[in-house]
Amino acid sequence: MDGTLLAILSGRDRPGVTASLFDALGHTPCEVLDIQQIVVRGRLVLAVLLGLDAGNVGDTRAILHAEAGRLGMEIETVPGASIARKDPERRRIHVTVMAAHLPPRAVAEMARRMADRGWNIDRIRRIASYPVTAVVFEGSGENIADLRRELSEAAPLLGVDVAVQHAGLDRRGQRLVVMDVDSTLIQDEVIDLLAERAGVLDEVAEITERAMRGEIDFAESLKERVALLAGLPAEALDETARRIRLTPGARTLCRTLRRLGFRVCLVSGGFREVIAPLAEQLEVDGLRANALEIVEGRLTGRVTGVIVDRYGKREALEEFAREFGIPVARTIAIGDGANDLDMLDAAGLGIAFNAKPVVQAAADTAVNAPYLDSVLFLLGITREEIEEADAGGGAG
């Protein structure tokens, strides 16, 4: 066969259209070289590239146009079209763009910036409309780091969140998600809730400010803050656990990941005694957190064991990966604070969730939508897959 013919059929979708078109082609001496079909809001677009002898192009075009007319659809036929060949030198990526309300200007600017850096957009598809609109640009090009930097800088100006990732099996094969707890999985800071219960909230806040100014490190600030809790009755821990407010979408995120075969672990600079009931409720696979010393039913004002600090969080991620036999390159870390930076850097994909600017700048991607389950879209999981995995479950 020395010729090709590209046919693009479009019109109202209904059962049997594809079968009818190819039944008509079954009477011609051609072969299918490539095919793509998509349905958008009830409108079907079907593109097929045929290989055939040049002398048969005219007859085949006539058959296609006649069948399209019978189906009440439009068709365009282009002789001599070439089949796309993948350039092994060009990398393939997925650029995920998310926003509560996605403005056309953001789509235009993302596409323009990709083109300016030599990236071709091969396909665009919507993967979610709730709780955010999320679309994926599938592209090919060369310098991923340069593109990621360019799009990340543009994202806040456009009011969107953007993630640039390698395409391929690793994107869908990531199997361990490790999350920070305070201000990530939950909306609260556990130490502040305990301090409020003990009547020392202002004193604890002052120590926290000193730590943020770099005057003391996390471990020292934790010891000083916990010391102020001395004498607090142990039942206050249970009371605090009941006061915790999950971040919107947290249950959906954990439930969906579990049902899709991911491992989910929590790591926190907070306290196991408060977090453990929540971890059990969410059925996570692992938990690392600090432990409070309790003697005769009251807090002593000391922590026991190794303190889970910035380095400890990274170490926990690596230990979880070893425990479950998952390469660190196929892990996802989610956090919001400076003590999450080492963990985010070590993970295959580090996600800054509603994070401080320094964390957003250092992470692979940032999510500023208030819904934790938006993270699922960065993993290539569509809204339809979430709903399918969550069939019968409650809202998250």
Q: Is the dihedral of CA 264, 267, 272, 278 positive or negative?
A: negative
The 3-class SS string of 65-89 reads HHHHHHHCCEEEEEECCCCCCCCCC
Tally of CB atoms within 10 A around 140? 17
Q: How far apart are CA 200 and CA 165, in angstroms?
A: 45
Helix (H) or strand (E) holding 358: helix 357-362
Per the annotation, the verdict on 345 as an active-site residue is: no
Which of the residues 13, 180, 188, 373 is marked catalytic?
Answer: 180
Which of the residues 182, 285, 336, 342 is marked catalytic?
Answer: 182
How many residues does the structure list for the chain?
396
- Which of 196, 178, 314 has the alpha carbon at shortest distance from 244? 196
With a CB cutoff of 8 Å and minimum separation 6, the contacts of 102 are: 133, 135, 160
Per the annotation, the verdict on 192 as an active-site residue is: no
Q: How far apart are CA 91 and CA 241, in angstroms?
A: 47
Beta strand 263-271 pairing with 286-295: parallel
Q: How far apart are CA 76 and CA 7, in angstroms?
A: 6
Residues belonging to the active site: 180, 182
